[in-house]
């Protein structure tokens, strides 16, 4: 029952119709116009993605503020203010439960009943899409709406998750939507510009959208661009990258305008774009700290790998024992209740009072503390996870007890592990950074406790390194992650080195045990993603070993009947076109091209037969095929052929005449490189006489 994912057609089919169009367009300077429109779309993607990200951001901020203000007031009413170190937390606890259960239940229900694909962070899905796998419904507007509401409800509900994954997904949806000028959700075709209606163009736009999304989520334009590259690009196309960078920068700029205005600043001076907080002073470090950073990295790798494997186990358990929809909603609620309860217990039992004054928390809670003191435990819990990361980075030394932080780390580690995989929309970046920041800071505090002369143990610095290590251990996206961290905390370039050390060690140690969390999710879902290098077990093989044969082929001129029957019988999406066939032994013919199932269906649907050529030839163009994109009807929607059963199809003007061909003795690493670099869907294996010997698709590199 594993879903049968299909691939995108990134390869451009250069058939006669396409060439005709090209020739026409060459005359009317069409490509310049197309280029300009493409730029405009990329700019729009940047702006709209940022606006959506802003809205999500602001709504979350406002609602969370309301919620925590209310809770604080309730605490203050129920716990006598001064001189009381005892009091009743039951009422606030109940309120807290209420304000967690309501949004979480609502969000989980939306996700479960309306659009299950919106569960999780969305990054694995976008990543798969950019890799060339068609994920159904992933770039629809409905998906975007559910995702946005989902992420707002879950963050406001207090689940251990962040908003960044969904924002990236949002960017992808925006890109697909704008570039296609057509929405399936609203069954509306804006009929503006159709030249971008193919998988190739769409995927390029989605690349830009993803980048804009990352940029908006982190205020990190270069990191955004690199994220898209790291996750997606196979061929380095300079113009595409440049457009992506511009979309990212515009996205960050828009974010800045809106947030500046929202915070009542002029001059676009809102610096909150460093959304993990800018360090006041340049972070310094000493030679002898480098090994410590490396140890932190190794710990990050170990903890991350453990987190990944635990999370995978939990999710397997879930899949098996909670198949019902209502069960998934209840489960989300249970985790929310668990979170609130653990937090309350911590607040109740740990007595960690700190003097008011230079504390950086927005909502100091006095709770069980003297006047002029605030409760450090409550301060950790009474805000969004993102704000807590900021606190851990920037709170002055001595802002927490060791016990507080130790318990917090453990609780959050478990909570985040239980949360990722729930049927809610949530990213994993922020909780991972939070856990890392917590244990990084904790380590510095513990060490400082034993060696009070070690002044280099700046807790904020170690929180940052810990966050990097933990992120490296869980996500393993090294390039973009390092740049995002640099941009999002605004550290000086001299501090890049410690960050990189932590990241590398974490990645290497983690890779020894398992894969990054996104890749794990992709594998669990049996998405046929192509890795960067061929899988190790394929390294010594030749094409011969992985090809499929006999191949279902079509003759250059074949009967409508055969095509119809063949399409009904098999599920493949690409068929070599052959000539020089003896009798019916098509699968030994000589290759002239390749044709896609979708094209064949259009041919049958529109009756593009040789016998009635004069009717359709004048008005048939590449547009005939593009009109039905992206949801070509299935063969079932083609009525029985009856009277046309003996008609003939001549594929020479429809097929792709230049499929990429390799030999049976070519090594798999080599053909893999060709497959990936050119973004292919089908690779034909031919013998020395150009006769078909087999066919290779994405799956054959993974499951054979």
Task: Give the nearer residue to ligand ATP in terms of CB position, either 548 or 607.
Answer: 548
Backbone CA torsion sign across 527, 533, 539, 541: positive
Cis bond before residue 666 (omega within 30° of 0): no
**Dist CA 268 CA 253 (whole Å):** 9
Residue 551's binding partner, choosing from a copy of itself, ligand ATP, Mg ion, none, with beta-carbon cut-off 5 to 8 A by kind? ligand ATP
**Exposure of 107 by Cβ count < 10 A (0-12 exposed, 13-18 middle, 19+ buried)?**
buried
| 40-to-175, 180, 200, 346 alpha-carbon distances in Å | 12, 13, 18, 52
Site membership for Mg ion, residue 579 (CB under 5 A): no
Task: Name the binder of 19 from Mg ion, ligand ATP, a copy of itself, none, CB < 5-8 A by kind.
Answer: a copy of itself
Calpha distance 455→475 (Å, rounded): 32
Taking CB within 5 to 8 Å according to partner kind, which of ligand ATP, a copy of itself, Mg ion, none is near residue 681?
ligand ATP
Site for a copy of itself in 231-270 (CB under 8 A): 233-239, 241-242, 245-246, 249-250, 252-253, 256, 266-270
- Taking the least distance from each CB to Mg ion, the nearer of 6 and 511 is 6
- Which is nearer to ligand ATP, 134 or 325 (by Cβ)? 134
CA 94, 97, 102: angle at the middle one, nearest 5? Answer: 125
Work out what residue 317 binds among a copy of itself, Mg ion, ligand ATP, none; the CB cut-off runs from 5 to 8 Å by kind.
none
Of 699, 345, 347, give the one whose Cα is nearest residue 535.
Answer: 699
Site for a copy of itself in 641-660 (CB under 8 A): 657-658, 660
Among positions 297-316, residues that touch Mg ion (CB under 5 A) are none
Both structure tokens of 480: 């973009």
The residue range among 150-158, 162-170, 271-279, 598-606 that interacts with a copy of itself, by the rule CB under 8 A, is 271-279
Q: Cα–Cα–Cα angle for 18, 179, 143, nearest 5°?
A: 125
Using CB under 8 A as the binding rule, whether residue 661 contacts a copy of itself is answered as yes
Which residue, 294 or 406, has its beta carbon nearer to a copy of itself?
294
User: Which position among 5, 70, 285, 647 is part of the footprint of a copy of itself (CB under 8 A)?
Assistant: 285
Sites for a copy of itself among residues 169-208 (CB under 8 A)? none
In this structure, are residues 343 and 433 in contact, taking their beta carbons and an 8 Å threshold? no
- Minimal distance in Å, beta carbon 662 to ligand ATP? 13
| Site map 422..461 versus a copy of itself, x via CB under 8 A | ----------------------------------------
Structure tokens at 550: 């006999």
Q: By the 8 A CB rule, do 146 and 111 touch? A: yes
Angle between the N-to-C axes of helices 289-321 and 429-450, in degrees from 0 to 180, rounded to the nearest 10:
140
Enumerate residues 6+ apart whose C-beta is below 8 A from 397: 448, 458, 459
Q: Which does 674 bind (CB under 5 to 8 A by kind): a copy of itself, ligand ATP, Mg ion, none?
A: a copy of itself
- Binding of Mg ion at residue 511 (CB under 5 A)? no
Measured distance between the N- and C-terminal CA atoms of the chain, rounded to whole angstroms:
19
Cα–Cα distance measured from residue 93 to residue 99, given in angstroms and rounded to the nearest whole number: 10
Task: Give the nearer residue to ligand ATP in terms of CB position, either 475 or 566.
Answer: 566
* 398, two tokens: 């001595």
- In the list a copy of itself, Mg ion, ligand ATP, none, the entry touching 177 (Cβ below 5 to 8 angstroms by class) is none
Q: Select the binding partner of residue 185 from ligand ATP, a copy of itself, Mg ion, none (C-beta < 5 to 8 A, by kind).
A: none
Under the phi-then-psi rule, with left for phi > 0, alpha for psi from -120 to 50, and beta for the rest, what region is 296? alpha
Question: Which of 237, 273, 223 lies closest to 479, judged by CA?
Answer: 223
Q: What is the DSSP string of 363-397?
A: S---TTS-TTEEEHHHHHHSS-HHHHHHHHHHSPT
Partner whose binding site includes residue 699, from Mg ion, ligand ATP, a copy of itself, none (CB under 5 to 8 Å by kind): ligand ATP
Q: Which of residues 487-506 bind a copy of itself (CB under 8 A)?
A: 487, 490, 492-494, 496-497, 500, 504
* 258 versus 332: smaller Cβ distance to a copy of itself: 258
Distance CA 10, CA 681 (A): 7
d(CA 121, CA 167): 9
Applying CB under 5 A, the site for Mg ion has a residue count of 1
User: Could you tell me the smallest distance in angstroms from the CB atom of residue 692 to ligand ATP?
Assistant: 9
| Nearest-approach distance from CB 155 to a copy of itself, in angstroms | 23
Residue of 78, 363, 514, 690 that binds a copy of itself (CB under 8 A): 690
Beta carbon nearer to Mg ion, 6 or 230: 6
Residues numbered 523-552 forming contacts with a copy of itself, rule: CB under 8 A:
532-533, 539-540
Q: How far apart are CA 229 and CA 214, in angstroms?
A: 12
Q: In a 3-state reduction of DSSP, which class is residue 182? A: strand
What does 575 interact with, of ligand ATP, a copy of itself, Mg ion, none (CB < 5 to 8 A by kind)? ligand ATP
Check residue 6 for interaction with Mg ion (CB under 5 A): yes
Q: How far is the CB of 290 from a copy of itself (least distance, A)?
A: 10
**Residue 6 vs 65, nearer CB to Mg ion:** 6
- For residues 15 to 34, the per-residue mask of contacts with a copy of itself, x marking binding by CB under 8 A and - elsewhere, is ----x--xx--x--------
The entry of Mg ion, ligand ATP, a copy of itself, none that residue 242 binds, CB within 5 to 8 Å by partner kind: a copy of itself
Residues in touch with ligand ATP (CB under 6 A) = 6-7, 548, 551-552, 571-575, 681, 695-700
CB of 5 to Mg ion, least distance (A): 7
Should residue 230 be labelled a site residue for a copy of itself when binding is judged by CB under 8 A? yes
Q: Choose the contact partner of 65 out of ligand ATP, Mg ion, a copy of itself, none; CB within 5 to 8 A by kind.
A: none
Applying the rule CB under 5 A, the residues between 224 and 283 that interact with Mg ion are none
Half-sphere exposure of 422 (CA within 13 A, CB side): 31
Among the residue ranges 6-14, 281-289, 393-401, 490-498, the one whose residues contact Mg ion (CB under 5 A): 6-14
Residue 341: name the closest of 530, 551, 172, 101 by CA.
101
**Contact of residue 249 among Mg ion, ligand ATP, a copy of itself, none (CB under 5-8 Å per partner type):** a copy of itself
Query: What is the Cα–Cα distance from 477 to 19, expressed in whole angstroms?
Result: 40
Classify 332 as helix, strand or coil.
helix
Structure tokens at 534: 């061929």
Report the C-alpha dihedral over residues 619, 621, 625, 627, rounded to 10 degrees: -70
Are β-strands 133-134 and 6-7 bridged in parallel, bridged antiparallel, or unpaired? antiparallel
Q: Does 371 bind a copy of itself (CB under 8 A)?
A: no
Query: Pattern of binders to a copy of itself over 583-612, x per CB under 8 A?
Result: -------x-x--------------------
Q: Name the burial class of residue 695, with classes exposed (0-12), middle (13-18) and buried (19+) by CB atoms within 10 angstroms of its CB.
A: buried
Q: Which is nearer to a copy of itself, 177 or 223 (CB)?
A: 223
The verdict on 85 binding a copy of itself (CB under 8 A) reads no
374 burial via Cβ count (<10 Å: 0-12, 13-18, 19+): buried
Contact positions toward Mg ion, by CB under 5 A?
Answer: 6
């Amino acid at each position: 029952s594993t879903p049968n994912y299909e691939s995108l057609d990134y390869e451009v089919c250069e058939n006669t119709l396409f060439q005709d169009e090209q020739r026409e367009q060459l005359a009317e300077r069409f490509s310049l116009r197309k280029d300009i429109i493409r730029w405009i779309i990329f700019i729009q993607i940047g702006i709209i993605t940022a606006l959506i990200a802003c809205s999500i951001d602001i709504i979350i901020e406002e609602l969370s503020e309301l919620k925590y203000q209310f809770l604080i007031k309730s605490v203050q009413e129920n716990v006598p203010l001064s001189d009381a170190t005892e009091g009743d937390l039951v009422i606030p606890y109940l309120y807290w439960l209420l304000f967690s259960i309501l949004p979480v239940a609502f969000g989980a229900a939306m996700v479960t009943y309306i659009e299950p694909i919106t569960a999780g962070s969305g990054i694995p899905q976008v990543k798969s899409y950019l890799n060339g796998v068609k994920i159904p419904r992933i770039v629809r507007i409905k998906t975007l709406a559910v995702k946005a509401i989902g992420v707002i409800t879950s963050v406001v509900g207090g689940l251990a998750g962040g908003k960044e994954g969904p924002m990236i997904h949002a960017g992808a949806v925006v890109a697909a939507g704008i570039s296609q000028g057509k929405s399936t959700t609203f069954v509306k075709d804006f009929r503006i510009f159709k030249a971008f209606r193919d998988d190739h163009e769409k995927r390029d736009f989605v690349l830009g959208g993803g980048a804009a999304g990352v940029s908006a989520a982190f205020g990190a334009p270069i990191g955004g661009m690199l994220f898209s590259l790291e996750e997606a690009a196979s061929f380095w196309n300079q113009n595409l990258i440049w457009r992506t960078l511009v979309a990212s920068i515009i996205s960050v700029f828009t974010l800045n305008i809106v947030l500046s205005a929202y915070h009542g600043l002029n001059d676009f001076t809102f610096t909150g774009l460093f959304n993990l907080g800018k360090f006041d002073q340049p972070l310094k470090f000493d030679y002898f700290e480098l090994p410590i950073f490396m140890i932190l990295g190794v710990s990050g790798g170990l903890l991350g790998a453990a987190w990944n494997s635990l999370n995978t186990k939990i999710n397997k358990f879930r899949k098996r024992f909670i198949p019902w929809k209502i069960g998934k909603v209840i489960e989300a609620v249970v985790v929310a209740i668990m979170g609130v309860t653990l937090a309350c217990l911590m607040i109740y039992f740990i007595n960690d009072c700190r003097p008011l004054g230079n504390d950086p928390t927005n909502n100091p809670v006095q709770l069980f503390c003297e006047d002029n003191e605030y409760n450090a435990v409550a301060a950790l819990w009474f805000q969004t996870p993102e704000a807590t990361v900021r606190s851990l980075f920037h709170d002055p030394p001595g802002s927490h007890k060791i016990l507080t932080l130790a318990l917090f780390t453990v609780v959050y580690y478990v909570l985040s592990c239980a949360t990722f995989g729930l049927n809610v929309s949530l990213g994993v970046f922020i909780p991972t950074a939070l856990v890392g920041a917590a244990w990084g800071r904790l380590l510095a505090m513990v060490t400082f406790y034993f060696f009070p002369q070690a002044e280099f143990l700046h807790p904020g610095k170690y929180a940052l390194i810990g966050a990097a290590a933990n992120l490296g251990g869980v996500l393993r996206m090294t390039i973009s992650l390092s740049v995002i961290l640099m941009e999002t905390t605004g550290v000086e370039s001299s501090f890049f080195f410690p960050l990189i050390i932590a990241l590398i060690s974490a990645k290497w140690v983690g890779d020894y045990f398992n894969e990054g969390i996104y890749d794990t999710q992709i594998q669990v879902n049996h998405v046929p993603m192509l890795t960067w290098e061929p899988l190790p077990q394929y390294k010594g093989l030749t094409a011969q070993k992985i090809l499929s044969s006999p191949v279902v082929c079509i003759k250059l001129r074949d009967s409508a009947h055969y095509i119809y029957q063949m399409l009904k019988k098999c599920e493949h999406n690409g068929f070599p076109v052959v000539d020089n066939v003896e009798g019916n032994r098509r699968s030994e013919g000589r290759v002239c091209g390749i044709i896609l199932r979708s094209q064949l269906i259009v041919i049958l649907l529109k009756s593009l037969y040789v016998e009635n050529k004069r009717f359709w030839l004048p008005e048939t163009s590449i547009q005939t095929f593009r009109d039905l994109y992206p949801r070509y009807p299935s063969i079932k929607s083609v009525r029985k052929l009856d009277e046309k059963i003996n008609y003939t199809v001549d594929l020479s003007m429809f097929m792709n005449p230049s499929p990429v061909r390799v030999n049976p003795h070519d090594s798999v690493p080599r053909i893999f490189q060709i497959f990936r670099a050119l973004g292919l869907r089908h690779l034909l294996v031919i013998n020395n006489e150009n006769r078909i010997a087999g066919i290779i698709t994405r799956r054959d590199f993974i499951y054979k």
